[in-house]
Amino acid sequence: MISLKKTPRYFWSLSSVKFNFIYCLFTMAAYNIPFIKAVYLHDHSIAGTVLTVLSIFALLNIAVSVLFIPRLVKPLAVFFCLLNTTGLYFMRAYGVVIDKIMLLNVIQTDVYEVQDLLNLRMLADLLLFGIFPSWLILKTKIIFQPFKKDAAVKIVSGAIFALIAAAIIGFGLWQNQEVLKERKYLKNSLIPVNGIGAVISVVKIKVNYIGIKLKKISGGAHMLPAAHNGKPALIVVVIGESARDANFSLSGYERPTNEPLIRQKDRLVYFDNFYSCGTATAVSLPCIFSPYPRKKFKPESEKYNENVLDIIDHAGYKLLWRENNTDCKDNCNRIEQERFCNVKECADEILLRNFSSKIRSTGKPTMVVLHQRGSHGPLYALRYPPEFEIYKPVCRQEYLPNCTREEIINAYDNSIYYTSHMLSKTIDELKALSGEYDTALFFTSDHGESLGENGLYIHSAPYETAPDEQKHIPTLLWLSEGFSEANGLDLDCIRKLSSQPFSHDNVFHTLLGMSRVVTPFYDPALDMLNSCRKNPLPAFGRTAP
């Protein structure tokens, strides 16, 4: 029986065993509705779902009885309430799962991105599921038996719960390894297992790189001479944010979201079958410039490995990174960086400030990376100037489920239209410099975006289960006539290849090819443009990274 006798400091008292039982029950009922729904959608069986929940409840009781020792029980219980509430909010609001990639994204975000996610709904959830239960925990007197007796009680209760879990598993709920593998993704929906697992995975990643020295791959890189005219190359690489192929009219979308680029179409190529390396900036952005393909790329390795920008810089180019997003995710650590925005929100055109004068001051072949704010969610309506609000009404809330799908798509499409305007303006800058440089532009997004399809919003879904909207991204190329001639590139040939399957795995090698940089790490088979050169670049004794 629960004792309701009040004391001056506490509302009531509970034995430690009863407290653990109630806490686990609350954890399953308050925080794990998304997990229970995911299990039911997987099994399509009420009985199977109930058995799964019972087994998890039993295992949770065992874990809690081990962790909740006298001096730690309340701090841990309160900590998990707050952690669980935060995870639950993002899972319900955006349909995301909590894993190591999501946590890495959170760690690398800035104060402005955090502000975009804060809203009254999140505060209400925090009060209801986090602060209020924590207050009740603090007002509960938890009674522990003497050590030996308490240990004996925990051993007995743990054995009972272990038998329950074992009986369910033995009954055939998880019959073989294939089923276990199929169910592996469900752990990312199980609170607090997902949060704890994410923290452990990130700590392991960080620990693995302690003491690691920078791995250099730029040694020996040098430029091949251009075919003619002697003008230096100027290559602009624009990295978009959260742009998805599905909303680009260049790929068949019914709205003219790329209308500003129409006047550039004579020398523009759109790649409509291009996929990202990841579904979160923390992975995709460094993977774009990495020598490693998606399947071999390891998050956080970018801090300890030179990338394609280092190679091109070593070969004699002037490298410049212009930032209008969170940061360069360690891609630009060894090259010049510029940031012009010192407030919460700046339109991406700020990346073109003093562009021509800056380029002319280099006096050598130059590669510039422009990192956009692009279509970063959930506040898409902040990503473009007011005059670009073409589609109305728009969603202006951080909590996207409160908006209609039409409002969300309208705001997102306006951000894509503005990206098209910014790209077109960048091309105009390159045209103005074409008398002095052979100019080219390469644009790709870091990842895509979900806009409510199947209850998912924004991005960061696990790559294996992520919807196409988060991986199928826009990529385009613009080449000046001088750049095409100097590099022997056939634009019509490139257009014929534009529907072939490409991905971020190709960017490293394509940028090396465009800059005509010789390095053993170049693979001509992965260079998107090499087969369309009059004189294809050789492998130069290729060395795998």
State residue 111's pLDDT score. 64
State residue 178's pLDDT score. 44
Q: Does the pLDDT at position 477 exceed 90?
A: yes
Q: How far apart are CA 229 and CA 206, in angstroms?
A: 49
State residue 179's pLDDT score. 44
The answer to whether the CB of 381 falls within 8 A of the CB of 411 is yes
Dihedral over Cα of 200, 206, 210, 216: its sign: positive
State residue 246's pLDDT score. 98
State residue 299's pLDDT score. 86
Q: How far apart are CA 442 and CA 472, in angstroms?
A: 17
**How confident is the model over 280-291, as a mean pLDDT?**
95
Give the DSSP letter of residue 472: B
- The pLDDT > 70 percentage for the chain reads 91
**How confident is the model over 220-248, as a mean pLDDT?**
90
State residue 542's pLDDT score. 62
pLDDT tens figures, 14-56 = 888 899 999 999 999 999 988 888 888 777 778 878 888 888 8
Q: How far apart are CA 52 and CA 431, in angstroms?
A: 62
State residue 229's pLDDT score. 66
**Ordered DSSP codes for 364-416:** S-EEEEEE--TT-SS-GGGSS-GGG--S-S----SSGGGS-HHHHHHHHHHHH
Residue type for 489, please?
L
The answer to whether the CB of 455 falls within 8 A of the CB of 464 is no
Determine phi and psi for 235, rounding to 5 degrees.
Answer: -115, 125
Q: How far apart are the first and last CA of the chain?
A: 65
List the single range of 81-95, 153-167, 487-501 with lowest mean pLDDT. Answer: 153-167
At 70, is the pLDDT very low, low, confident or very high (cuts 50, 70, 90)?
confident
pLDDT tens figures, 118-162 = 778 888 889 999 999 999 999 999 998 887 777 777 777 778 877
Enter the tokens of residue 354: 């003093």
pLDDT tens figures, 344-382 = 889 999 999 999 999 999 889 999 999 999 999 999 999
Enter the tokens of residue 161: 């719960």
HEC secondary structure over 50-113:
HHHHHHHHHHHHHHHHHHCCCCCHHHHHHHHHHHHHHHHHHHHHHCCCCCHHHHHHHHCCCHHH
The residues facing 518 across adjacent strands are 222
State residue 337's pLDDT score. 96
Q: How far apart are CA 83 and CA 197, in angstroms?
A: 13
Domains and CATH numbers, the chain: 12-208 (no CATH), 230-371+416-532 (3.40.720.10)
**How confident is the model over 226-254, as a mean pLDDT?**
92
pLDDT tens figures, 262-277 = 999 999 999 999 999 9
Which residue reads 């930032």 in tokens?
323
**How confident is the model over 240-265, as a mean pLDDT?**
97
Q: Does the pLDDT at position 478 exceed 50?
A: yes
Task: Give the helix/strand (H/E) hosting 254.
Answer: none
Q: Does the pLDDT at position 424 exceed 70?
A: yes
- The pLDDT > 90 percentage for the chain reads 59
State residue 177's pLDDT score. 42
Task: Give the helix/strand (H/E) hosting 495.
Answer: helix 491-496
State residue 153's pLDDT score. 73
Rg (CA), the chain: 27
pLDDT tens figures, 160-202 = 877 877 776 666 544 444 444 455 567 778 888 888 888 888 8
State residue 171's pLDDT score. 62
State residue 208's pLDDT score. 77
What's the pTM value of the predicted model, to 2 decimals? 0.88
List the single range of 3-17, 91-105, 138-152, 444-458 with lowest mean pLDDT. Answer: 3-17
Q: Provide the mean pLDDT of the chain.
A: 88
Determine phi and psi for 116, rounding to 5 degrees.
Answer: -65, -25
State residue 545's pLDDT score. 67
Q: How many CB atoms lie within 10 A of CB 144?
A: 16
Which runs of consecutive H residues, i.e. helices, occur in 244-360? Answer: 281-289, 308-314, 355-360
Top-confidence residue, 258 or 538: 258
Angle between helices 33-43 and 46-67 (to 10 degrees): 140
Strands 274-275, 318-323: pairing is: unpaired
pLDDT tens figures, 525-535 = 999 999 999 98
